[in-house]
Amino acid sequence: MMTRSEIHEAARIGDFDTVCRLLEEGVPVDSRGPEGDTPLHWATAWGHSEVVALLIDNGADVNAWDNEGQTALFLASKKGQTDIRAMERLLACQGIDVGARRADGWTALHGAAQRGRADFIEMLIEADADVNARDNDGCTPLALARRKRRTDAMEVLRAHGGKE
C-alpha cells in the first residue's frame, strides 16, 4: 500500500521550509499520493496559502484531479479551513478550470454552497463559474445551499441569477 510522501505531509501541515527544500532536491511538484492527490491538494484543503503559492510558483498543475475527481479548487471551496488567500491564488492562475466537475457532477461552486462560503461563491462567480450548474441529480448550487440552510450563500447565488 502506498503511503503519503514527505512532500504531501509537509504540504498538509503547512511546512513551507520542508516543501521548499524537497522541491529544491528535485521532488516532483505534482507527486501523486495513494488517492491520486498532489501536494497542492493537501496545502489547499488545509488552508496553507503560503505553501499553495510556493507549489503554484514551482509549476503545480492547478487542474490536477485526485482519484475522486477533485481539483485543488474544488477542495478549497469545500473545506471550511481554506484561507481566502489560497482561493485567490488558485483563481489567479492562467487556465484554471472553474467549471471542473467531479464524477457526481459537482463543481467548486457546489462545494462552496454546501459549506455556506458566500465569500468563495462570490469569487467563483467573478471567475465565470456557472451559477446554475446542475450536478448529476439536477441539483444547482442554490438548491444545495437551501437544503443546507446556508442563507448567506443563498443570497449571493440569488443576487447573481441563481435558480433552483
19 band by pLDDT with thresholds 50, 70 and 90: very high
% of the chain with per-residue pLDDT over 70: 96
At 47-64, the pLDDT tens digits run 899 999 999 999 999 999
3-class secondary structure, 35: coil
140 band by pLDDT with thresholds 50, 70 and 90: very high
Say if residues 132 and 162 touch (Cβ distance below 8 Å).
Answer: yes
Any idea which architecture 98-164 has in CATH?
Answer: Alpha Horseshoe (1.25)
Asked if domains 1-94 and 98-164 share a fold, the reply is: yes
Question: How large is the average pLDDT for residues 9-24?
Answer: 96
pLDDT value, residue 1: 36
| Fold classification of 1-94 (topology level) | 1.25.40
Residue spans per domain, the chain? 1-94, 98-164
pTM value > 0.85 = yes
68 contact partners, CB below 8 Å, separation of at least 6: 35, 36, 102, 103
> Distance between terminal CA atoms of the chain?
43
